Amino acid sequence: MGDYNGYLQGLSLAAILILAPIALQSLLTGDSADVVYVLVEEDTPPPIIIIVNDSSNDAREEELNRSEVARIATFNIKIFGETKMGKADVVDVLVDTVLRYDLVAVQEIKDIDQTVPYDFLDAINVKSNGTWSMVLSPRSGLQEDDQSSQEQYAFYYNTSVFRSMDNGTLHNDSVDDSFQREPFIAQFEIIDVNGTGTGFDLSLITVHTKPAEALNEINALPDVINSYLENNTNESEVVVLGDLNAACSYVSSNELSNSPLADSKYTWLIENNVDTTVADGYCAYDRIITNGDLDGRLVGTWGVDRLYDDSDISDHFPVWFDVQRTSDAS
């Protein structure tokens, strides 16, 4: 009983430490929206779900089951090249990780031959009960001063949940040269549980910022969003997700709060007090930001999946959020 009480005391303390800054932020901002924070760890007690300012009658996060939401993740797979792809045990963990979601934005693909993304897709489909596909970027880092750090991005997606609407495009950074690796943008339609297109689409912008220039690149992301929306007038729902290096020694919380990306029209789902890294320390490098509630489909649940402790797999954990597959009006 003593051990159990100790566990409960520790859990209570952890909850207080997590809730205190969130509650303070809510009081200061007057935000009354439902927010659900989910932290998932393997081989631990069930995840703690914290609901802050539950002042509305909207209980979508409790009513929806896994099949009713599309789960979108971002995952920096550390130095993902031929060496890592040749390690069967590592690939097995990576595939199992991807299959937890319905769409995954992957950063840090480093393969000059550009075969690894296709080999990984094959490995996913071998273990999947359904069919997965991929939208792959060209090698980013197109400017002459960025070519030493070229990487590819990929969106891997379950074709029973998402339909790709284009081949994706790298943001045109040729004028301002704001990014070491240009953000990659692709548009997807959500498919409902009956396999029918919903008519709802969203555009995903993934980026891997240069650590030493993380703040400058984060500050440039609103220009990427605005430029994209101006050139795609049929689109209004945008999600930025990726390894923004938006924490610790690279970017402070105060600097983030003064960033153009902290404007009230953007919603940051991954808070500053979250750790998305495998290494010791507490750094919210990986982020997900939306330009609103995604036409009412933003459920409010998100998570960090701590699925391994081996940095050979990755030095980042995947982070995710849910989008409702069928609108309340349908």
What is the rounded average pLDDT of the residues 188-216?
A: 97
DSSP string of 56-108? SS--HHHH--GGGEEEEEEEEEEEESHHHHT-HHHHHHHHHHHTTSSEEEEEE
Q: Look at residue 25 and tell me whether its pLDDT is greater than 70.
A: no
What is the rounded average pLDDT of the residues 26-39?
A: 41
Q: Is the pTM of this model over 0.75?
A: yes
The amino acid that residue 316 corresponds to is H
Torsion from C-alpha of 95, 324, 246, 138, nearest 10 degrees: 60
| Residue 271 CB-half CA count within 13 A | 18
| CA separation, residue 226 to residues 177, 204, 261, 270 (Å) | 16, 13, 11, 22
What is the rounded average pLDDT of the residues 301-313?
A: 96
What is the rounded average pLDDT of the residues 296-309?
A: 96
Confidence of residue 34 (pLDDT cuts 50, 70, 90): very low
The predicted pLDDT at position 146 comes to 82
Checking DSSP bridges between strand 238-243 and strand 197-208, what pairing results, if any?
parallel
Q: Look at residue 59 and tell me whether its pLDDT is greater than 70.
A: no
- Give bridge partners of residue 2 from the DSSP assignment: none
What is the rounded average pLDDT of the residues 142-152?
A: 87
Q: What is the CB neighbour count within 10 angstroms for residue 322? A: 26
Dist. CA 63–CA 24, nearest whole Å: 28
Q: The domain 64-324: what is its CATH number?
A: 3.60.10.10
Residue 194: DSSP 8-state:
T
- Give bridge partners of residue 157 from the DSSP assignment: 103, 133
What b/e sequence results for 28-49 when a residue is b if at least 16 CB atoms lie within 10 Å of its CB, and e otherwise?
A: eeeeeebbbbbbbeeeeeeebe
Q: What is the CB neighbour count within 10 angstroms for residue 70? A: 26
Q: Minimal CA–CA distance to 56: which of 300, 304, 312? A: 300
Q: Look at residue 200 and tell me whether its pLDDT is greater than 50.
A: yes
- Give bridge partners of residue 302 from the DSSP assignment: 321
Better pLDDT: 180 or 62: 180
Largest CA distance in the chain: 65
Taking all residues of the chain, what is their mean pLDDT, rounded to a whole number?
Answer: 85
Tens digit of pLDDT for each residue in 105-139? 999 999 999 999 999 999 999 999 999 999 999 99
The predicted pLDDT at position 74 comes to 98
Asked if 284 and 246 touch (Cβ cutoff 8 Å), the reply is: yes
Q: Look at residue 14 and tell me whether its pLDDT is greater than 80.
A: no
Residue 273: DSSP 8-state:
T
What is the rounded average pLDDT of the residues 137-163?
A: 93
Domain boundaries along the sequence of the chain? 1-62, 64-324
